[in-house]
Amino acid sequence: MTAFSVILTQEARDNIEEITGYIAGQSGFVPASTVLKRITDGLQSLERMPQRCAPSKKPWVSEQGGRDYIFLGLPYIAPFLIDEAANIVTVIAVYHGKMNWQT
């Protein structure tokens, strides 16, 4: 099984920072750290079999062959693209499932 490199766009990094900052402000450092760990662990799991995720619900992402990583137990979704030739997964963003992110 080929391992993929997982790359986060600047938007994805900013999203994660905003999510954890919001949680820290509302609930404190420990809950924010827990969510951050779950997000980073989930994204790192894309190193193995990123194809296991469903095609993205965002048409402009799915038209490029993109998929959505859905964080179990968290309300977040991370759309990503797979470059099979280069073995790279590019995470485009991380957003709350109720957001209307870049329709």
Decide if 101 is inside a domain.
no
CB atoms near residue 73 (< 10 Å): 7
What CATH number corresponds to the domain at position 62? 3.30.2310.20
In angstroms, the Cα distances linking 86 to 7, 8, 28, 58, 75 are 12, 15, 40, 24, 30
Q: Along the chain (103 residues), what's the average pLDDT of each consecutive run of 10 residues? A: 93 97 96 97 96 94 96 96 97 90 60
Decide if 68 is inside a domain.
yes
Decide if 29 is inside a domain.
yes
Q: Please give the tally of structural domains in the chain.
A: 1
Decide if 53 is inside a domain.
yes
Query: Which pLDDT score is estimated for 84?
Result: 94
Report yes or no on whether pTM surpasses 0.75. Answer: yes
Decide if 103 is inside a domain.
no
Decide if 102 is inside a domain.
no
Domain containing 35: what range?
5-96
